[in-house]
């Protein structure tokens, strides 16, 4: 099972798995998953309508919006994490490493939620600052 391989320290229960397994009942599930992996590994083209975005992203543009990046310390799919991408973030940026594997939102929900709230706080602070500047 991928969950145990990709998040080796995660001790999930049968109820957690059953909640996610509902997605397997979608008639497109297998086709979508296989296409996704084939696309990621360059074996199959993606949606042609999205190619302009793929082309822009391939240039590795800088990220100007506030961002928190999170790596799972035991994620075998990203050994060493993504800290080397820090130079791409020119806006507010914070990089975090949490005790989790690849499935961060389920395995470390509080850390994931804290990252979302941090970005929200930065956004609200920016809005407040913009508002104060407009009043001057």
Distances from the Cα of 134 to the Cα of 128, 129, 130, angstroms: 10, 9, 6
Q: Taking Cα atoms as reference points, which of 2, 1, 7 lies closest to residue 106?
A: 7
Per-residue pLDDT of 34-76, as tens digits, reads 999 999 899 999 999 999 999 999 999 999 999 999 999 999 9
Query: What are the residues facing 93 on neighbouring strands?
Result: 67
Report the topology of domain 2-135. Answer: Rossmann fold (3.40.50)
pLDDT of 77-116, one tens digit each? 888 889 899 999 999 999 999 999 999 999 999 999 999 9
* Burial class, 6, CB count within 10 angstroms (exposed 0-12 / middle 13-18 / buried 19+): middle
Per-position DSSP letters for 87-130, written without gaps between them: GGB-SSEEEEEES--S-HHHHSHHHHHHHHHHHHHHHHHHHHHH
Tell me the domain boundaries of the chain: 2-135
């Amino acid at each position: 099972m991928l969950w145990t391989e990709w998040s080796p320290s995660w001790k999930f229960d049968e109820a957690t798995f059953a909640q996610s397994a509902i997605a397997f009942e979608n008639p497109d599930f297998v086709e979508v998953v296989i296409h996704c992996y084939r696309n990621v590994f360059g074996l199959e083209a993606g949606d042609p309508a999205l190619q302009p975005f793929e082309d822009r992203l391939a240039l590795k543009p800088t990220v100007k919006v506030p961002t928190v990046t999170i790596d799972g310390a035991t994620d075998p799919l990203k050994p060493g994490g993504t800290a080397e991408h820090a130079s791409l973030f020119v806006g507010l940026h914070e990089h975090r490493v949490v005790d989790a594997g690849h499935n961060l939102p389920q395995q470390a929900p509080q850390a994931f939620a804290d990252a979302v709230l941090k970005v929200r706080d930065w956004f609200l602070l920016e809005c407040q600052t913009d508002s104060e500047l407009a009043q001057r």
